[in-house]
Amino acid sequence: MNKAVFFDRDGVINHDPGDYTYLLEEFKINDGVISSLKKLSSEGYLLFIITNQGGISKKIYTHSHVNAIHKYLIEELAKENVKLSEIYYCPHHNVNENCLCRKPNSLLIEKAIARFNIDKEKSFMIGDKPRDVEAAENAGVKGIKVGVNENIEKYVDDILNSNY
């Protein structure tokens, strides 16, 4: 079985300015992210992004905006020999519809667990909102809450040093 770390996107992987991040020119990878992903990857962790993108449902932006950002992120990580196993995103928002994939629901994490044969006991979710931790726990994965736009290196070091 594989071990994995799931990451929220906005506020963890990239700078969250406090509203929706959907324009490529506004997308900035947070300090410590690339080095943290490299460390985890070198220790055999699969890497995933689990992100709510409710602005699609609200018609603020489109799937194309999200896909452009994800393509850019994948390309930037590839320059550092870092590979994401998958990016899962929920395009829904509870003001418009109910779904099973929007965090704090755990469907997207559960899909990754099933598809990639992930050992929940050896896996983690890093997020900046209580709903990220709740989604992790709903899926049977250890949730770690960080501050918005906080450098995640110390949390990754704690994972690698088995401090959780």
Q: Which residues are catalytic?
A: 8, 10
Distance CA 115, CA 147 (A): 30
Q: How far apart are CA 6 and CA 12, in angstroms?
A: 11
Measured from the Cβ of residue 62, the count of other Cβ atoms closer than 10 Å reads: 14
